[in-house]
Amino acid sequence: MNTFRNEPLLELRRSTVRNEALAALAALDAKLPLEVPMLIGEDVVQGQVFSSVDPSAPATVVANAHAATAAHVGDAITAAERGQKVWSQRPASERAAALSRAAGILRSRRYELAALAVREAGKPWAEADGDVAEAIDFLEYYAQGALALDGGRPLIQMPGERNAMRYVARGITGVIAPWNFPLAIAAGMVSAALATGNAVILKPAEQAPACAKAVVDALHAGGVPLEALSFLPGGDEPGKALVADPRIHTIVFTGSCAAGLNILQTANTFVPGQRHIKKVIAEMGGKNAIIVDSDADLDDVVPGLLKSAFAFAGQKCSAASRALIHKAVADELAERLAGAISTLRVGPAADFGTDVPPVIDIAAQQRIQGYVDSARPLAQGDTRDDGFYVAPTLFHGLPADHKVIQEEIFGPVLSLETVDNVEHACDLVDAGGFALTGGLFSRSPRTIEYVSDRTPVGNLYINREITGAMVGRQPFGGGRLSGTGPKAGGPDYLLQFVEARAVTENTVRHGLVV
C-alpha cells in the first residue's frame, strides 16, 4: 500500500516564511565556507582542495571540497565491496526505514538546505526549496517502492511446482550527479540504488559538492552504513575512473548528452576480469519545444513560456528553448512576449524579487553568451556584471539550421518559430534528436490527443509550464538522445537497479505433492 504524499512546499508567499528563510541564510553565511572532504568507507579523506562559489557573488566561497583521484575511486570501490555484502543482506524494511529517517533529517533542515542551494547553485528560493522537497520525496517514494518490490511478482503456479520471482540488488552503483538539482537528483539517484540494496559511490557535481554532502550525511545519519555509501567530490577524473572500473555494476548519470554518450561507450567496453555487463541509466538533457496552437489562451501562454524558459535561468533539463507558434497568433504572441521579457528581474538568487538568477559558472556564462550574440534578438531583458549573469533573450524567426534552434543551450534563451499548423510543429519536434519534455497550448481535445500521440517526448505538458515534475505525479525522463528512458520518480524506476531471480521448486516427493 502506497501512502506517499509529496512534501509540502514552503509557503513563501507569506512574509513570516520568507523571514525564516532569510534567517537561515544569514546563519548559513556565518558558517561559510563549508568543508567538504571525501568520505571513503569509514574514512574521512583530504585531497587537493577546490572551491564552489556563489554564482550571484563569485567572490564568496561556499565550500572547500577535496578532489578525489582515480586512486580514491579504487579505495571507495573496495570499501563498497564490503558495503555491498552488508547492505544487500539487510531486510528491505530496514533499508527503507533508513531512507525514511534520512528524509526526516532533510525535513528538519529544510530552510538551511534551501539556503545552501540558493548560495551554492544560485537557485532562487522557490526553486531551491523545491529542490529540498524533491530530495525528501525521492527518499520516501523509493523507500516505499522498494518495500513493494521486495514482495516479488506473482507467477503462474502448477501442481507439484512452486514458482517465485524476487528482485535482488544488481551490485555496486556509481552515481554521477548534476549541479542543477544539487540535492534532489543526487538524492534520487543515490536512494533508488540504496533502497534496492546496492552500495553506492556518489560523485557530485564540481559546482555543488556541499549540497550533495548534505544528502550523504543525512543518509549516513539515517542508518546507511558508511561502507555502503561513499562520497567523492571532484572533476572528471573520479567520474571517469568510476565508470571504467570493472567492479561497478550500474552507472547512474544525469548531465550533458556528450558526457552521457561517453559514459555509455566506456561502460560498454569490456574490461578483462569483468564478470558482468554494466548498465547505464542516463538522463541527458533536451531541446524542449512548446507548441502553441491558434486556439490557445495567450494569457496563459505568456506566463507559461516565461516560466518554462527563464525560471532558474533556463538551467533545467526540462526547460523550454523553442516555441513553435501557429501563424495565426504568432505576431501577437511575439509582441506580448517581447514586452513581457523586460518585466523579468535579473538578480541574485537570494532576492525574493528575482525572476532570473545568474547561471552556474563563468564557463556556462561565456558559452551561453555565445548563443545570445549569435543573432539579433527580438527582445532582451536586463543583465548585470556582479555575478554570472546572462540577459534573458528572445529570438524570433531564425533559420531552421541556426545553432540556437539546433543545440541545447541550457540558459535563459528562447527562440520563437512560426509554424503553419500543429502537424508542422510536430514534424519539427520529430526532426530533433532530443525527446525529453514538450508542451502544448491548445483548447481542442483532438489536438491534444493528436500531439500526445505523435510526440516523441517523455514528458508532455498541456496548457501549463513544462518544468517542475513532481515525484509520483509526473515520472520524469525522456527518450532518443535525452536518455535511456527510465522515469525517475515513477513506479518503474527501481526496476533499473535490480535483477530478477526466478526460483522454481519441485514439490513432488515419491510421487506425492508435498
Partner 1 sequence: MAATTQERPMDLERPIKEIGTDLAARMPRPRLVSTARVEQRMTEMLMKDPALRAALFRFVDVRPACDTPADLIRHLHEFLEEAESKTAQRASTFTGRPLARRPIAAVAGAGVKRMAQQFIVGEDAKDALPEITKLWKHGVETTVDLLGEATVSETEADVYMRRCEETLRALAGAATKPGQVNLSVKVSALTPLLRPTAPERGIEGARPRLEHLLRVAKEVGAHLHVDMESFDTREAITELTLDLLSQPEFADGPSAGIVLQAYLVESPEHLDHLLDWAERTPRTHPFVIRLVKGAYWDHEVVQAAQNGWAPPVFTDRRECDRNFEQLTRRLIDATPTVRVAIASHNLRSISHAAAYADARGVGNADLEFQILRGLGDDTQAAIAATGRQVRAYCPVGDLVAGMAYLVRRLLENTANDSFLAAHASGTDTAELLEAP
Can you give the binding site for partner 1, defined by CB under 8 A? 5-9, 11-13, 15, 18, 125-126, 294-299, 302-303, 328, 336, 338-340, 342-343, 345, 351-353, 355, 443-446
- Strand locations in 200-344 (E): 200-203, 229-231, 250-254, 279-283, 288-292, 320-326
Q: Which is nearer to partner 1, 235 or 303 (CB)?
A: 303
Please report, as a single letter, which amino acid is at residue 404.
V
CB-CB contact of 118 with 125 (8 Å) = yes
At its nearest, how many Å lie between partner 1 and the CB of residue 113? 17
Set of cell numbers at residue 500: 530478477
CB-CB contact of 486 with 262 (8 Å) = no
**Cα radius of gyration (the chain):** 24
At its nearest, how many Å lie between partner 1 and the CB of residue 10? 9
Going 297 to 300 to 303 to 304, the CA torsion angle's sign is negative
Q: Which is nearer to partner 1, 5 or 31 (CB)?
A: 5
Q: Which is nearer to partner 1, 32 or 126 (CB)?
A: 126
Nearest of 476, 482, 446, 480 to residue 461 by alpha carbon? 476
Q: Which is nearer to partner 1, 210 or 344 (CB)?
A: 344
Q: Give catalytic status of residue 283 as yes or no.
A: yes
Q: Which is nearer to partner 1, 14 or 31 (CB)?
A: 14
At its nearest, how many Å lie between partner 1 and the CB of residue 473? 9
Which positions ≥6 away from 350 have C-beta within 8 Å?
Answer: 25, 56, 118, 119, 125
Euclidean distance between the first and final Cα of the chain, in Å?
32
Half-sphere exposure of 119 (CA within 13 A, CB side): 30
At its nearest, how many Å lie between partner 1 and the CB of residue 397? 20
At its nearest, how many Å lie between partner 1 and the CB of residue 446? 5
Nearest of 117, 325, 135 to residue 222 by alpha carbon? 135
The active-site residue, picked from 283, 408, 417, 465, is: 283
At its nearest, how many Å lie between partner 1 and the CB of residue 468? 10
Half-sphere exposure of 273 (CA within 13 A, CB side): 5
Nearest of 172, 197, 174 to residue 186 by alpha carbon? 174
At its nearest, how many Å lie between partner 1 and the CB of residue 133? 8
Residue 42 Cα to chain centre, angstroms: 28
Q: Which is nearer to partner 1, 295 or 373 (CB)?
A: 295
Secondary structure of residue 220 in the 3-state scheme: helix
Going 229 to 230 to 233 to 234, the CA torsion angle's sign is negative
Q: Which is nearer to partner 1, 3 or 15 (CB)?
A: 15
How many Å apart are CA 278 and CA 436, to the nearest integer? 24
- Residues belonging to the active site: 283
